[in-house]
Chains A and B, each alone.
Chain A
Amino acid sequence: MIAHLPILQVIVPLIAAPLCLILRRAHLVWLFALFASGIAFLTSILLLQQVMDTGTIVYELGGWEAPWGIEYRIDKLNAFLLLIITMISTVVLMAAKKGIEKEISSEKHTLFYVLYLLSLTGMLGIVATGDAFNVFVFLEISSLSAYALIALGNDRRALWAAYQYLIMGTIGATFILIGIGMMYQMTGTLNMEDLSRRLPEISQTRTVFAAFAFVIVGICLKLALFPLHLWLPNAYSYAPSIVTAFFAATATKVAIYLLIRFTFSVFGLTFSFTTLPLQTLFIVLGLLGIFVASTTAIYQQNVKRLFAYSSIAQIGYMIVGFSISSVTGLTATLLHVFNHALMKSALFLALGAVMYRVGSVDLKHFHGLGRQMPLTMAAIVVGGLSLIGVPLTVGFVSKWYLLLALIEQGWWPVAVLVLLGSLLAIIYVWRIVEAAYFKPPLANTGDIKEAPLQYLIPIWILILANIYFGIDTRLTVSVAQAASQSLFGVGL
């Protein structure tokens, strides 16, 4: 059993998805999906323990030895990402039953869980696999179910958002496919570890340069790196709240993982950062992303859209940490991947609760909510503080490491800009606080009650995690540090 954990991690949600169709009854399906996701969560905890104790786990599918067969390779980075994805997926699913009640029409509830589990499978597969082509297949599994999930939204704009995402996402995935093809053409292998050994020998050829460009641009489209972020605000604003909470916390994180995996492991540090000017390019795009997206967030009237823009800004921080290309910088990025997942899933779930009670997430409908939904709004405030990076929240930990990494390199101007970017976050979080606590309720809203427990429990689990991991950083920092050290070590 233990030996098969890597494959079970992916295959449990994959098998659970069609089984949902057999169960049919929405309540049962919800419990079953929650159970499957919980099993995946347990698996990822066991995997992380095992990896931290004994090092990288290699699992050969069907007993075929790599590079002929496909292998799943779980190292510290993979295990960390698997833990984040399954944790968020499980907590978000706890709220799903109430969450989709009003936002998705009832005959589609079963299908929602099927798509959700398939999307989860795709993301877990991307992270678990050690085969470049397998990455593409899983990427498409998760993306196709993501398009359909977004289109489930009641608003007709959700359809348009899903369509735009489909076009952009498919171009991104096809770019990655072209890049993988070029790598295969040059090396005759698809296994990532094998690629990392063979690519340096031919790294000066134009085909490898082109392959790198295609793969990186493709991943950046999926990542919503500024200026390739255009699909994200619409998709996050009009998708059902549960879907937004799940994707905001996981989908872009998986793309960050791919970026790290391809630049650090497959192409190698020397090629990615020395031969090509990736560092300068990414640091500029990352900073631009922080400023443009944060400024745009300030002017949004729809709070879901506001946090969608804030997500693009947070991706900017991850990219800045990534492009420092030092152990501390990468640690900061990985910490922020974990921490941002906690903040954004909590925030979007809280917005889901507001949607459930109020029926809208426009800023003007937040007036007076501080008194009407105290627990939900308190969660939004704590999440917002975490987003700004106030001490005692997780947001502080990752910003702290990011600044440490920047100062370590002597990049003072960038450090100042990162701090300035956080000031912008104060403004957009303040706008929500002002509306909720300092404005009288709208006259005609009637009686708005606190969110149902099924919403409050998952929201507060995540918020408490935000505070807990902001104070006790031993687990996250040690895993993130170990993962980034191993990436700077000898290849995979």
Chain B
Amino acid sequence: MDAGNDWAAAFFGLYNYWIVVVLMMVGFYIVIAHGNLIKKIIGLTIFQTSVFIYYISMGNVDGGTAPILADNISQYSNPLPHVLILTAIVVGIATTALGLALAIRIKESYGTIEEEIIQGMDNPG
């Protein structure tokens, strides 16, 4: 097997991880680079979602089905990471809700949701 094929196999064989990495970096970049408070929360949500996908794809077994007790099924996917991530999703929703609520309150008292303007108002001069 030549080097090109190895590379392709590694790339496509692990495609789920590539998706996770790309999403994670996209989300992380938005959080850091954008000054708009709502966009930051969108970025944060994408960042968290990438971790959910990571957990979910980790638990998948090739050819495995849902872990239901039945006669003709012998291979199951691991349900534990899927259950764990249900908890993490709930936590993620709570975080998003709280973040948005804070953004609304900030808009009410500062009149803006742009980071730069808020910081300018807090540290004049």
Chain A residues within 8 Å of B, Cβ to Cβ: 133, 136-137, 140, 144, 147-148, 151, 156-157, 159-160, 162-163, 166-167, 170-171, 174, 177-178, 181, 184-185
B61 → A minimal CB distance (Å): 12
A89 → B minimal CB distance (Å): 22
User: For the complex, what is the distance from the CA of A285 to the CA of B74, rounded to whole Å?
Assistant: 52
A233 → B minimal CB distance (Å): 12
User: For the complex, what is the distance from the CA of A137 to the CA of B87, rounded to whole Å?
Assistant: 8
9 A-B contact pairs sorted by A residue (CB < 8 Å): A140-B91, A144-B94, A147-B98, A160-B110, A160-B118, A166-B95, A170-B44, A170-B95, A185-B58
Interface residues of B in 1-36 (CB under 8 A from A): 28, 31
User: For the complex, what is the distance from the CA of A151 to the CA of B48, rounded to whole Å?
Assistant: 23
Which 4 residue pairs spanning A and B have beta carbons closest together? A156-B109, A140-B91, A163-B102, A159-B106
Contact partner, B102, options A133, A162, A181, A184, Cβ 8 Å:
A162
User: For the complex, what is the distance from the CA of A89 to the CA of B56, rounded to whole Å?
Assistant: 38
Contact status A159-B94, CB under 8 Å = no
User: For the complex, what is the distance from the CA of A148 to the CA of B95, rounded to whole Å?
Assistant: 11
User: For the complex, what is the distance from the CA of A163 to the CA of B80, rounded to whole Å?
Assistant: 32
A259 → B minimal CB distance (Å): 21
Contact status A144-B95, CB under 8 Å = yes
Chain B residues within 8 Å of A, Cβ to Cβ: 28, 31, 37, 40, 44, 47-48, 51, 54-55, 58, 80-81, 84, 87-88, 91, 94-95, 98-99, 102-103, 105-106, 109-110, 118, 122
* Contacting residues, chain A, for B81 (C-beta < 8 A): 181, 184
Contact status B88-A177, CB under 8 Å = yes
Contact status A177-B51, CB under 8 Å = yes
Contact status A178-B54, CB under 8 Å = yes
Contact partner, A163, options B37, B51, B91, Cβ 8 Å:
B37
Contact status B118-A166, CB under 8 Å = no
B6 → A minimal CB distance (Å): 17
* Contacting residues, chain B, for A177 (C-beta < 8 A): 51, 88
* Contacting residues, chain B, for A167 (C-beta < 8 A): 31, 40, 44, 99
Chain B minimum-CB-distance residue to A133: B84
A343 → B minimal CB distance (Å): 29
Given contacts A133-B84, A167-B99, 15 further A-B contacts (CB under 8 A): A133-B87, A136-B91, A144-B91, A144-B94, A148-B98, A159-B105, A162-B102, A166-B95, A166-B102, A167-B31, A167-B44, A170-B48, A174-B51, A178-B51, A181-B54
A417 → B minimal CB distance (Å): 32
User: Are A159 and B58 CB-contacts (below 8 A) given A170-B95, A177-B88?
Assistant: no
User: For the complex, what is the distance from the CA of A140 to the CA of B48, rounded to whole Å?
Assistant: 13
* Contacting residues, chain A, for B99 (C-beta < 8 A): 163, 166-167, 170
Chain B minimum-CB-distance residue to A180: B84
* Contacting residues, chain A, for B94 (C-beta < 8 A): 140, 144
Contact status A171-B37, CB under 8 Å = no
User: Are A163 and B106 CB-contacts (below 8 A) given A144-B95, A177-B51?
Assistant: yes
Contact status A181-B95, CB under 8 Å = no
* Contacting residues, chain A, for B31 (C-beta < 8 A): 167, 171
A228 → B minimal CB distance (Å): 14
* Contacting residues, chain A, for B122 (C-beta < 8 A): 157, 160
